[in-house]
Amino acid sequence: MMAIAAGWIFILLLAGGFALDRTLTNLVEDNFDDQLEYMLTAMISSAELDNAGDVYFIRPMGDQRFLEPNSGLYWQISGEGREDYPSRSLWDRSLEIREYRDDEVHLYDSRQIATEPMRIAERSVMLPGSDTRWWFAVAASREEMDYQIARIRSILIWSFAVLGLGLFGMAVLQNWVGLGPLRRVRAAIQKMRSTGANRIEEPLPLEVEPLVEEINALLAHTTRQAEEARTHAGNLAHALKTPLTVLTNAATAHADDLAETTIREARTMQRHVDHHLARARAVGRRAVGHARTSVCESAEAVRRAVERLYSETRFDIAGNRGATVAIERQDLDEILGNLIENAAKYGGGSVFVTVDAEPGCEQCVIWVEDDGMGIPEEQRTRIFDRGARLDTGKPGTGLGLAIVRDVAEIYGGSVELTESEDLGGLMSVLSLPRADQPAASR
């Protein structure tokens, strides 16, 4: 920021200084030329012809420098076929004029005297009663004008240098003061890290309050994720502890049913690992960003897969075809897959899926109904436990509904079981945040 400020200050002051230099220099030069023109006009108006046809002045030139040799101010009159008529200040020299033949005043620089650059005003005149063309010229040394221009440029350079340094100093001060709140935020974060706090508590300027709020929200989110990870790791370790103990005891005692015990406990551990992996995948995908998934597209994909396993079952998907939820497609497929497969497995041959069954709700509600025997009300809560199965005669791990509940809650949704009024069997009521609503986090 300071480099950009310094660059812009340099460019703008350079452009402004150049424009001001040209303006003041032109003013000095114009004033100098006006004085030469004034003296040239006075010289022409005082000129007359004598009887011999030569020019003389009816009144002397007013500036005393015309009489002093090498004074820096000179005049000269030249005529066609006539000798030059110079001022006394030229002494034994003469001016080399350009002899323009129009009636305009011509101003130009001349270096015919190497040690004295001059500015010359020249005009061609036909005096009354004379056929001779006369050239009147007034010359003045540029020394005084050049000195004034050098003084002006010196003042401009020093003043603009001081101004530039002052502006750059103000820019540095502005940056230092303006970035002060960010330095305080950095100090607060360092203090928070050294003290072990999980949020910034000290009061900070209003300019950085939104940043502090976002940092605190990020820290809270990270803390929740770390707590979830610790909880999941603890749950998995606790769940695997018992099967490992059983295997260790059976192997130590050389039990006769060691093979059966190993298979049974390995399946138990596999269920626990699958459950926690499903939760971990859902948490990881939730952290990626806000998802947007069509419910009907996911339900149709699941129906086509389940139909291959239960070809005799009739599936019906109805409701809002445009409903979308804030959940990753893979997780929604897993949730609906478990619910629809359970409905087909334990139902009587009919499965109804209603998408956005309650359109006025803040969340998208999905009903999955079947015409089976249903589940008694007192067992509808226990069925969500890991490994819980009411019908052990059919294959399964007992993880389906537990995974559905956990994944739905990770995205801020819920699932509950009730009785289907239309089909008489079980109805799973799945609620998920709509895509246009912010997904809640646990």
Q: What is the pLDDT of residue 441?
A: 40
- Answer yes or no: are the C-beta atoms of 425 and 373 closer than 8 Å: yes
pLDDT of 249: 83
**What phi-psi label fits residue 431: left (phi over 0), alpha (psi between -120 and 50 degrees) or beta?**
beta
CA distance 92 to 69: 9
pLDDT at site 181: 86
Cβ-based neighbours of 145, under 8 Å, separated by 6 or more: 28, 29, 32, 119
Length of the chain: 442
Phi, psi dihedral angles at 397 (to 5 degrees): -110, -10
Arch. (CATH architecture) of 290-433:
2-Layer Sandwich (3.30)
Tell which residue, 417, 426, 304, has the closest CA to residue 369. Answer: 426
pLDDT of residue 396: 42
For 439, residues 6+ apart whose C-beta sits below 8 A from its C-beta are: 286, 290, 326, 327, 411, 412, 433
Q: Hey, what are 287's tokens? A: 């952290």
Where in the chain are the domains? 2-149, 206-285, 290-433
pLDDT given at position 368: 93
Per-residue pLDDT of the chain (442 residues; tens, 9 = 90+): 888 989 999 999 999 999 999 999 999 999 999 999 999 999 998 888 888 888 888 888 888 888 899 888 999 999 888 888 898 988 888 888 888 888 899 999 998 887 889 999 999 998 887 788 899 999 999 998 999 999 999 999 999 999 999 999 999 998 888 888 888 888 888 888 788 777 887 788 888 888 888 888 888 878 877 777 777 677 677 667 777 888 888 888 888 788 888 888 887 778 767 766 766 666 655 554 467 889 999 999 999 989 888 888 899 999 999 899 988 888 888 889 889 998 998 888 899 999 988 887 888 999 999 998 888 877 777 776 654 444 444 444 345 677 788 888 888 899 999 888 888 889 999 999 988 654 444 3
Whole-number pLDDT of residue 238: 67
What CATH fold (topology level) applies to the domain 2-149? Beta-Lactamase (3.30.450)
Task: List residues bridging with 121 in a β-sheet.
Answer: 107, 138
Quote the pLDDT of residue 398: 40
Rounded-to-integer distance, Cα 350 and Cα 164, Å: 84
Separation CA 63–CA 65 (nearest Å): 5
Residue 155: per-residue pLDDT: 93
Distance CA 400, CA 326 (A): 21
How many secondary structure helices (H) and strands (E) does the chain include?
A: 8, 14
Among 309, 383, 306, 295, smallest CA distance to 338 is for 306
Rounded Cα gap, residues 22 and 290, in angstroms: 62
